[in-house]
Homo-oligomer: A and B are copies of this chain.
């Protein structure tokens, strides 16, 4: 699909500032962006297109408050697989990432194999998630759950 060229283009300060501005408000008009950058709208548009096509901008999206959606709790769950089940990593990962509670999914090197970030209605919901998706899987050796008290996504480090 029309993913990207995966070019490792190099960014000048203008590109970086553009990324910063879009990170702050991805719906700003091209004109307002070009004004702030001090460049012509056509230039700004072409920069934006290039960043998108190069895959540097992965997508224009929104940050949603999970608790406003009825999921006031968040948890991080680290998952260790059975030593003999490492070859199932891809499979377990695929299953997991389709759980509706999942916000993020990390595949790790180190003591843990996965880390999943979930949003949930309540603690019972978390417990059920761990049981249904993790503990029930014979490839899973163990899990550790931590409640998230605060979470900040920091803008693109540009």
Contact = CB atoms under 8 A, between A and B. Distances in A.
Interface of A: 8-9, 11, 19, 22-27, 54-66, 68-69, 71, 76, 93, 97, 100-112, 115, 119, 144-158
Of residues A61, A106, A145, which shows the largest number of chain B Cβ atoms within 10 Å of its Cβ? Answer: A61
| This chain: copies in complex | 2
B108 A146 contact: yes
B146 A64 contact: no
26 contacts: A19-B64, A23-B62, A27-B27, A27-B60, A54-B68, A55-B68, A56-B64, A56-B69, A57-B65, A58-B64, A59-B62, A60-B62, A61-B61, A61-B155, A62-B156, A66-B156, A76-B108, A104-B154, A105-B152, A106-B151, A107-B148, A107-B149, A108-B147, A109-B149, A110-B147, A112-B146
A97 B157 CA distance: 11
Contacts of A110: 144-147
A134 to B, nearest CB: 16
Contacts of A26: 26-27, 59-62
A112 to B, nearest CB: 6
A7 to B, nearest CB: 8
A106 B59 contact: no
B104 A147 contact: no
A55 B66 CA distance: 10
B154 A97 contact: yes
A151 B63 contact: no
